[in-house]
Every structure is written in structure tokens, then in C-alpha cells.
Amino acid sequence: MPRQKMLILRGNRGNYADEQGQPFNYGRGALHEWAAKEYARRKNYEGVVLDVAGNANPPKPGEKYGTRDDCPQTVQALAKFRSDASIAALYGFSGGGFDVWWMLKLLNAKERKRIELVVVLGAPERPQSDFEASMFTGGSWEVVYKTNPLPSAEFVPKGVPPHMFGPEWLLTETPAGRYRDRPDVEED
């Protein structure tokens, strides 16, 4: 049986701190990719990063905010989810976290039944309760929700805004497990 996948959605494009706290231009969308993919591995999923930024569409004249239900990341994430039946988990960082909510809203009940885990990091404008399975017909997933780590956290470089280090924060709280317990390793 093929391994199930976790679809990982990046944050907005722009200049943010890299893993060492140095400025970096994330043109494809902000994400500390190694930590996100390692989290997926530790949860026994294959991490699949969608290479499109999590920015909302620009606001139309007279509107205050842009839309996310039809922004490029939401549209591409829905297409990827619908074309790959092995995707059973969603992980959204920052702008990608907002787009996870739109995905959940736009999926039908049968599609939602496939989801086992929803992870949202660094998207505090929408509360955890908005992502709970009970809010969506057909949903029965676990939710992992975190806003931003403290600036004093050991994995946040001194003097650097902590937002980008949400994936590391989650990873520090996720045990790696024993090697022999991993289902992808056969014993002798």
C-alpha cells in the first residue's frame, strides 16, 4: 500500500528569516521546508510541498481584502488533493494556513472524509475552532493548531521575529520515534 501524503502549503512570498535567522526572499512562498517535511515524516506521511505562495488575490476596487477561495494556492491545492487520493493530511503555514480553511470549506463531504490530520501554523487571525472537523460535514480529522512561538524559544535566533519558526516549534514537540517502529523499515 502506498504511503499516505501530507500536502504542505507555503506562506506568503517575500523577505523573511531563513532557518539561521538571515533575511531570505521566498519567491515561492515562505516556509522552513525541512522542518515541515520532517514533521510529516514523523507523523508517518510523505510530505509534499506545493510550490506556490499563499498570498491572497489582490483586493478588487472598493474591497478591503483580497480573496482566498480562488487564489492560486487554494486552486492548485484543491486540484492536487483531488488528483491524488493518497493525500490524507493538510499542513498550512501562515498564508497557507488561511488557504487550508478555504480548502476545507470548498471540499465536499466525501472528500473531507479522507482527511485524517489538519495542521495550521502561524495563522492566528482565524481561531482553532474554525478548523475543527465538527465545523464541516463529513469531517473527522485531528487538528494541530499553533500561532507563533515565543521570541525566547531556543530555536528562534536572538532578535529575529519568531513567526517563521512555527515549523521548528511543532517539530520540537513531535517525537521522532524509534527506528524499528517506522513502518517503512523492514526488520531483519
- Integer Cα distance of 110 and 168 in angstroms: 33
- Integer Cα distance of 42 and 18 in angstroms: 22
Q: What is the value of pTM for the model shown?
A: 0.91
pLDDT tens, per residue, the chain with 188 residues: 568 999 999 999 999 999 999 999 999 999 999 999 999 999 999 999 999 999 999 988 888 888 898 999 999 999 999 999 999 999 999 999 999 999 999 999 999 999 999 999 999 989 999 999 999 999 999 999 999 999 999 999 999 999 999 999 999 999 886 543 445 545 44
Those residues with Cβ within 8 angstroms of residue 48's Cβ, 6 or more apart along the chain or in another chain: 5, 6, 7, 8, 80, 87
CATH architecture of 5-180: 3-Layer(aba) Sandwich (3.40)
